[in-house]
Amino acid sequence: MEKTFYITTPIYYVNDVPHIGHAYTTIACDVLARYKKERGYKVYFLTGTDEHGQKVEKAAQANGETPLELADRVVKRFQSLWEKLNIDNTDFIRTTQERHKKAVEEIFRRIEAKKDIYLGEYEDWYCTPCETFWTEKQLLDGNCPDCGRPTDKLREESYFFRMSKYQDALLEHIEKNPDFIQPRTRRNEILSFIKEGLRDLSISRTTFNWGIPVPGNDKHVIYVWFDALTNYISSLGFPDDPDGNFKDFWPCNVHVIGKDILRFHTVYWPTFLLAAGIPLPEKVFAHGWWTVEGQKMSKSLRNVVEPNMLVDKYGVDAIRYFLLREVPFGLDGDFSHTALVHRINSDLANDHGNLVSRSTAMVNKYFDGVLPQPGADEEVDTELKQIFNNAVATVDQHMNNLAFNKALQAIWELVSAANKYIDDTAPWALAKDDSQKERLGTVMYNLLEAVRLIALYTAPFMPETGAKVLALLGDSEESDVTDVRFDWGGLKPGTKITKSKPLFPRIETE
C-alpha cells in the first residue's frame, strides 16, 4: 500500500493581512510536506482561510464592504504570498465554499442525532478578538485571560455541545497517546486544563449573521471554531466522497498550529470528532511565537514584518531557511535583521555556497566538467560515506519530530564534513601529480556525490536552491524523487557537471 501523509496549517482569518507569523506555520508545513514527498509518500498538504465570524463581519463593516468582499480581497493576499514563498499546497480551503458548508452541516447533524447538541441559554463574557467565551471566574481584572483585551457580557439563546460528556474519553486518549499533543509542555498544559473539568460548549450565536446557519434553525449561526475546525475534513471531500481523499488521508498525520490555538485543536476538535464518530488526528504540534527585534508584533507598534518585503530583499530560500534554523520549533523566537544576515552570510554563502562553487569548479578545472569514475576508497573516503549514511536516519527522526532546527544542524554537519574532506584530501596538490589522477577522480566523485545528497536534504527547506544544485549535477528530473536517492552513489560517472555561480551572494553590513 502506498504510504500517505496528511499535514495541515491553521486556516487564517481574513480580517488581517498575512505577516511573518502566518508565513512561519505555512513554510514549516511546506517543508515537511516536501520532505515526505522526497521520501516517497503520497502527500496531502492543506491550507486555507477562515472567513466567517463576528471578527470578520466587524472588519468588513469598518471597511464599508460585505464580509465576502473583504474575504475575496484578502484571500488573494494569502494566495499570492504562498506562491511567492514557494508553498506547494495540495488544496486551499475557504470556509465560505459550498463544499465546506456541507461538511459543517453534516457534522452538526451527526452530533445532534446523538443528542449531544441541545438548545439552552448563555450568559457569559465574550472576547471578540479571540472569538471565545469566558466565565466570570476566568477573567483577569475583567479582561480576556488570553489577550488582555476587554470582554462583553452576552446573554443569548444558544445551542450547546455536550463536551463534558467526552472529558474522560479525551483524557484517556491523551494519556494513551503520548505523542498526540506536542511539545511535551503543551501536553501537560492541556492535561491540567481538562482535569479542571470540561463545560458544555456554546456552538451557536444569534447576535450576528456572518456564518453557516444551524440546520433547521436559521436564527442561529454555527460558532466560528466549530465551523473552522471542520475544514480539515471538508477539504478531503467529507461527507460526500468517503472513498476518495477522506479514506486515503484521514486521520491526519499532523495539525501544525501556533500555541495560542492549542485548546481549540486538542480539546474542542477531538471531542467534536469523538461525538461524530470520526477517528482523531494522530498529532497536534504547537509552535511558538515570533517577536520582532525583542518586541511583540503589532499594528500599533508598526513593527509587523511583511514577508513580501523580506523575500524581495533577501530571497525566498534564505527566509525559509532562517525561520526554521534560528529557533527550535515549539519555542518562541525573535526576528532580527542582524540574525538573518548573519545566517545568510555564514551558513548559506560561506558554508554551503562555497562548497558548491569549489566542488563544481574543481571538476571543471581537472576533468573538463565530466564526473570521473571513482577508484578504491581510502580511510578518509570511508569516513565521509559513513557520515552521510548515518545522516539518513538522523535527519528522518528530526523531521518526524518536527525538530527542523536539529534536522538543519545535522544537514550542516554534512556540509562541514564535505568542506573538511576538501581540506583533508587537498585536490589542488593531487592535481599537480599525474600519477595521482585516479585518486583525484575518486575525490571529485565523492565530493560531488556529497553535494548531491546535501542538495536533496536542503531541497525541502530551500526548493529553488535545491533544484539549482541538482541541475548543476545534471539532474533536471525533479519528478524522479524517491527514497533510494538518499543512498550513497547515486551520481553517474560521466555526468556533465556545470560550474556554479555563487548561490547566496554575501550581504555587506556596516
DSSP 71-125: HHHHHHHHHHHHHHTT---SEEEETTSHHHHHHHHHHHHHHHHTT-EEEEEEEEE
| Residue 161 DSSP class | E
**Minimum distance between the CB of residue 234 and ligand MSP, rounded to whole angstroms?**
11
In this structure, which amino acid lies at residue 152? D
Contacts of residue 218, Cβ cutoff 8 Å, sequence gap at least 6 = none
Residue whose entry in the numeric block shows the C-alpha cell 471554531: 225
Q: How far is the CB of 23 from ligand MSP (least distance, A)?
A: 9
CA distance 374 to 409: 29
Residues 6+ apart with CB under 8 A from 505: 349
**Residue (130 or 507) nearer to ligand MSP, CB:** 130
Q: How far is the CB of 258 from ligand MSP (least distance, A)?
A: 2
Instruction: Please identify the residue of the shown chain whose CB is closest to the bound ligand MSP.
Output: 258
- Shortest Å, Cβ 179 to ligand MSP: 20
**Residues binding ligand MSP (CB under 6 A):** 10-13, 21-22, 24-25, 50, 228-229, 231, 257-258, 260-261, 289-290, 297
Q: Which is nearer to ligand MSP, 50 or 449 (CB)?
A: 50
Comparing CB distances to ligand MSP, the nearer of 220 and 265 is: 265
Identify which of 27, 7, 6, 8 has the alpha carbon closest to the alpha carbon of residue 81: 27
The dihedral region occupied by 295, where left means phi > 0, alpha psi between -120 and 50, and beta the remainder, is beta
Cβ proximity to ligand MSP: between 190 and 229 the closer is 229
Cα separation, 7 vs 509, in Å, equals: 39
Strands (E), 377-477: none
503: Cα separation from own chain's centroid: 25
- Please, what is the minimum distance in Å from the beta carbon of residue 82 to ligand MSP? 14
202/442 with CB nearer ligand MSP: 202
Comparison of 30 and 50: residue with beta carbon closer to ligand MSP: 50
SS3 216: coil
For the bound state, the minimum distance from the C-beta of residue 14 to ligand MSP, rounded and expressed in Å, comes to: 8
Classify 293 as helix, strand or coil: coil
Q: Which residue, 51 or 105, has its beta carbon nearer to ligand MSP?
A: 51
311-332 CB burial, b ≥16 within 10 A, e <16: beebbbbbbbbbbbbbbbbbee
Cα separations in angstroms, 266 against 22, 135, 180, 246: 20, 20, 9, 21
Q: How far is the CB of 301 from ligand MSP (least distance, A)?
A: 12
Smallest gap from Cβ 499 to ligand MSP, in A, equals 40
Measured from the CB atom, is 269 or 461 closer to ligand MSP? 269
Q: How many CB atoms lie within 10 A of CB 429?
A: 10
Cβ closest to ligand MSP, residue 321 vs residue 388: 321
The whole-angstrom separation of Cα 21 and Cα 327 is 13
Q: Which is nearer to ligand MSP, 261 or 391 (CB)?
A: 261
CB of 428 to ligand MSP, least distance (A): 47
Helix, strand, coil shares of the chain as percentages rounded to 5?
A: 50, 15, 30
- Please answer whether residues 380 and 424 qualify as being in contact, where contact means their C-beta atoms are separated by less than 8 angstroms: yes
Instruction: Indicate the angle between helix axes 307-314 and 67-84, nearest 10 degrees.
Output: 20
| Nearer Cβ to ligand MSP (254/417) | 254
The distance of closest approach from Cβ of residue 216 to ligand MSP in the complex, given in angstroms and rounded to an integer, is 25
Cβ contacts of 114 within 8 Å, gap of 6 or more: 275
From the list 114, 244, 265, the residue with the least C-alpha distance to 186 is 265
Please, which residue, 49 or 354, has the CB nearer to ligand MSP?
Answer: 49
Q: Could you tell me the three cell numbers for 35?
A: 520532505
CB of 84 to ligand MSP, least distance (A): 18
Which of residues 12 and 246 has its CB atom nearest to ligand MSP in the complex? 12
CB 260, min distance to ligand MSP, A: 5
**Nearest approach, Cβ of 52 to ligand MSP (angstroms)?**
10
Q: What is the C-alpha separation between 214 and 486, in angstroms, rounded?
A: 51
